[in-house]
Every structure is written in structure tokens, then in C-alpha cells.
Amino acid sequence: MANRYWCGECSFKTPWRGEPEGLRLQIKHYAEKHPGTPPGGQVETRRRSSGKRNGYLLLAAVVLVLLTVVAACPH
């Protein structure tokens, strides 16, 4: 799982990072660009495993079709 931190003061957003690294980048951005402003904005979350799960589903479907073809074969 990766997070992206959006600045609440300007259009800056951090690259996709793990939570501690993204938070550190956002705090660094606030220290440089908005000194004296407490870090705010919003967090965007992305799940890394969703694409992988779709891949497994596709693989299972291919195996099912192959088994059906083999079972339908007269030999």
C-alpha cells in the first residue's frame, strides 16, 4: 500500500511512497515552502495488490477453459 500526500496550501503532492517516507516529504515541503504553517492537506491511498489479484483471476479462467477443452477431447 502506498500513500500520496497532497499539500493543503498549494498544488504540491508527494510521489507515491510508504507512510513514513511520504509524511516526511510532506513535512519537508511545508518547512521549505510554507514555514510556520502546520502540515495539512489530504492523503491519497493506493492498494498495490489489486492488479495482482486480477492476474490470478485471469489465470484461473484460462486453466478452467483448458480443462474444459481437454475433457471435451474424445481421446
Q: Rounded distance, CA 24 to CA 56, Å?
A: 35
Interface with Zn ion, residue 5, by CB under 5 A: no
70 alpha-carbon distance from chain centroid: 39
For 46, phi then psi, to 5°, come to -130, 135
Stretch in the footprint of Zn ion (CB under 5 A) among 19-27, 32-40, 46-54, 62-70: 32-40
Site size for Zn ion (CB under 5 A)? 5
CB of 8 to Zn ion, least distance (A): 8
List residues binding Zn ion (CB under 5 A).
7, 9-10, 12, 33
